[in-house]
Amino acid sequence: MANFVLRLPATSFRSFSISASSNGAVPGTSTRAQNGGPVILELPLDKIRRPLMRTRANDPNKVKELMDSIKEIGLQVPIDVLEVDGVYYGFSGCHRYEAHQRLGLPTIRCKIRRGTKETLRHHLR
């Protein structure tokens, strides 16, 4: 990870900083819609449960293409994660998740929505 700080004279410019993680997300930050919508942040891969993993097979060619893309330009679209009682469940982004695993990346950028146990049961049907 690299951090860059650009400081210009205060008379006519503002100062700001730019930083990036290995997969393109700004480390240590999250964004939340003002209306209490989803949060986007990095989660450790091992904290995301994948309840449908055994029922779906990933296309190995697509995973390889994503690995190449993530290595070159980072993850462009976060995976969707449902948070229920502090536990994270991933139901989409299976290829992106596997690409991160195979690249040995410890975290993945996620769009996290809070849900109830009923919402979780709905996703498991």
CA atoms of 42 and 80, how far apart (whole Å): 12
CB-CB contact of 66 with 95 (8 Å): yes
For the chain, what is the largest distance between any 2 Cα atoms, rounded to a whole number of angstroms? 60
How many C-beta atoms lie closer than 10 Å to residue 85's C-beta?
9
Which residue numbers belong to the known binding site for ATP? 93-96
**β-bridge mates for residue 117, sequence order:** none
Rg of the chain over Cα atoms, rounded to whole angstroms, equals 17
Selection from 54, 65, 37, 50 nearest residue 97 by Cα = 50
H helix or E strand, kind and range, residue 70: helix 60-73
